């Protein structure tokens, strides 16, 4: 049997929490009813997904009712079926304020997190992430917010998102409580994280990469703006592996040695089931490099 780069193992989030290689994202969590939303979350958990990624800004688009709406929707799901909360490693984010645009001051982050917990009807979250870097806040101040939230039992662990490797390293050096994850965009159509040091820093420090938009927000399916050669390679592998194109694209994300978690955004249980087949896909090194070259549209030297 030829080598297989795809890692389907559980990922470690900090010292105590294990999460699956595929996570459920709530950016588009704007389903028609609370019962539909509860079915979706329960269906995701039944497929072996246990990390759920939300943010206070989710709800501003995708038909949401505004800032906080996707956290509120998840809160209603937890009230409908309280058993779901205990099966989830719950993550959310704060630090984006439409109009400013970013605020990571200690006062703001602490209040934002308190509001998030209230909206989701939970006592604590496993992971609280700074959504985007506020370059006008010193990392010591972010670290102060983290310590306060951690010491009050509101947050178990912390993460960053859309941080450069240098920004993450600076915060890692100043944080007194566990900083365990970084959330970059990463997919076969967006390879920057494996070239700018983001995924290398994860390997170096042991923090867990949570890849957002692993299907490039659906463009891997529509083909919009992607090289036709990339779609052709994904489809050829999909036929060989007897899975969907989406599953091959997610398998590519799981093939990086940083042991990436792919946060998928589909709100369709059938699509979710197809995607979880990614863990059974066999990708050789030759497959992975064919995908990279097709994505770049040029041969590697």
Ligand X SMILES: NC(=O)c1ccc[n+]([C@@H]2O[C@H](COP(=O)([O-])OP(=O)(O)OC[C@H]3O[C@@H](n4cnc5c(N)ncnc54)[C@H](OP(=O)(O)O)[C@@H]3O)[C@@H](O)[C@H]2O)c1
Please give the residues from 223 up to 252 whose contact with ligand X meets the rule CB under 6 A: 246
Please give the residues from 3 up to 62 whose contact with ligand X meets the rule CB under 6 A: 25-28, 53
Candidates 199-207, 229-237, 261-269, 287-295; binding stretch for ligand X (CB under 6 A) = 261-269
Nearer to ligand X, 94 or 139 (CB): 94
Nearer to ligand X, 253 or 301 (CB): 253
Minimum gap (Å) between residue 251 Cβ and ligand X: 13
Supply φ then ψ for residue 127, to 5 degrees.
-135, 125
Minimum gap (Å) between residue 127 Cβ and ligand X: 12
Nearer to ligand X, 154 or 277 (CB): 277
64-71: long-range contacts, CB 8 A cutoff, minimum separation 24:
64/30, 67/98, 68/115, 68/116, 68/119, 69/30, 70/26, 70/27, 70/29, 70/30, 71/26, 71/116, 71/119, 71/120
Choose, by CB under 6 A, the member of 265, 276, 277, 290 that binds ligand X.
Answer: 265
Ranked by CB distance to ligand X, the top (closest) residue is: 265
Please give the residues from 108 up to 167 whose contact with ligand X meets the rule CB under 6 A: 131, 161-162
Q: Please state, in angstroms and rounded to a whole number, the distance separating the CA atoms of residues 121 and 115.
A: 10
Within the chain, residue ranges assigned H as helices are 34-46, 69-80, 83-86, 106-120, 139-151, 165-174, 198-205, 219-222, 228-241, 245-254, 269-276, 285-296
Choose, by CB under 6 A, the member of 212, 237, 248, 295 that binds ligand X.
Answer: 212
Q: Please state, in angstroms and rounded to a whole number, the distance separating the CA atoms of residues 269 and 248.
A: 18
The reply on whether position 68 binds ligand X by CB under 6 A is: no
Q: Please state, in angstroms and rounded to a whole number, the distance separating the CA atoms of residues 129 and 161.
A: 7
Nearer to ligand X, 39 or 284 (CB): 39
Q: Which residues bind ligand X (CB under 6 A)?
A: 25-28, 53, 131, 161-162, 183, 212-218, 221, 246, 263-268, 271, 275
């Amino acid at each position: 049997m030829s080598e297989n780069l795809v890692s389907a193992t559980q990922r470690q989030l900090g010292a105590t929490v294990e999460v699956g290689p595929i996570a459920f994202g709530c950016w588009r969590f704007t389903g028609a009813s609370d019962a539909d939303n509860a079915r979706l979350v329960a269906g995701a958990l039944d497929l072996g997904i246990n990390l759920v990624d939300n943010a206070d800004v989710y709800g501003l688009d995708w038909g949401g009712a505004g800032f906080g709406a996707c956290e509120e929707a998840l809160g209603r799901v937890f009230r409908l079926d309280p058993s779901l909360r205990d099966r989830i490693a719950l993550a959310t984010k704060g630090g984006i304020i439409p109009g400013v645009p970013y605020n990571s001051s200690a006062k703001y982050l602490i209040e934002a997190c308190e509001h998030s917990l209230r909206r989701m009807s939970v006592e604590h979250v496993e992971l609280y992430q700074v959504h985007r870097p506020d370059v006008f806040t010193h990392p010591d101040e972010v670290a102060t917010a983290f310590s306060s939230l951690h010491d009050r039992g509101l947050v178990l662990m912390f993460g960053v998102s859309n941080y450069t490797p240098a920004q993450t390293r600076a915060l890692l050096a100043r944080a007194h409580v566990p900083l365990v994850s970084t959330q970059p965009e990463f997919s076969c159509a967006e390879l920057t994280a494996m070239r700018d040091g983001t995924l290398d820093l994860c390997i170096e420090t042991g923090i867990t990469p949570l890849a957002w938009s692993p299907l490039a927000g659906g463009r891997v399916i529509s083909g919009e703006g992607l090289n036709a050669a990339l779609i052709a390679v994904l489809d050829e592998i999909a036929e060989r592996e007897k899975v969907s194109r989406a599953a091959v694209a997610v398998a590519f994300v799981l093939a990086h040695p940083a042991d990436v978690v792919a946060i998928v955004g589909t709100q369709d249980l059938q699509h979710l089931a197809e995607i979880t087949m990614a863990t059974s896909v066999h990708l050789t090194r030759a497959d992975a490099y064919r995908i990279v070259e097709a994505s770049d549209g040029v041969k590697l030297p």
